[in-house]
Amino acid sequence: MSTETLDPMARLLAERSCERLIVEFVRRLDLGDPSSVADLFTPGGVWEWPHGDRKVVGRQALREYFGSRPEDRLSRRMSTNILVTVDSVSTATATSYFATYRVDGHAGGMVPPRLPANVGHYEDTFRKVGDTWLLAARVTHLPFGGETARLGRPGRS
């Protein structure tokens, strides 16, 4: 079905579902159970970074990847400029921008302000499986990026 024949309400609901996936992805990484991010992908979902030729394929591999984050990592991601394009009743794409603030070695409390570890954008492909929209692929583009800082002893950063 082409987008010309897609009901305007169905298009709006699809756009909102895909936007919510982008936001839920960030929430789970920063505030939830990181390994559960895999549940936002189709069974054969892919997350890749063209720079460095990194690619993670399939829910189990994604669960292991996200679940391997250091337990002492503190991160906050800001997503913005989310533009979803619904291609059909079961496919959509999106571009969104992000900035990631991240440190390892966090033992609690507030961390002094610092520059983001990464700034870039995602290119997402979505598929509707049954009644649920899921990420089929996420490509991460990092024009600005660096290593994750490690905090020093308590009281030092």
Question: At 13, which CATH number?
Answer: 3.10.450.50
Q: Is the pLDDT of residue 7 over 80?
A: yes
Domain tally, the chain = 1
For residue 136, give its domain range: 3-107+114-150
pLDDT tens-digit map of 17-75 = 999 999 999 999 999 899 999 999 999 999 999 887 899 999 999 999 999 999 999 99
Q: In this prediction, what percent of the chain has a pLDDT beyond 70?
A: 94
Residue 156 lies in a domain: no
Residue 93 lies in a domain: yes
Distance CA 48, CA 77 (A): 18
User: In 3D, which of 4, 21, 31, 23 has the Cα closest to residue 126?
Assistant: 21
User: How many residues are there in the chain?
Assistant: 157
- Determine the pLDDT at residue 3: 53
Distance CA 40, CA 35 (A): 10
Residue 155 lies in a domain: no
Residue 80 lies in a domain: yes
69, 96, 135, 149, 154 from 106: Cα distances, Å: 13, 28, 30, 10, 9
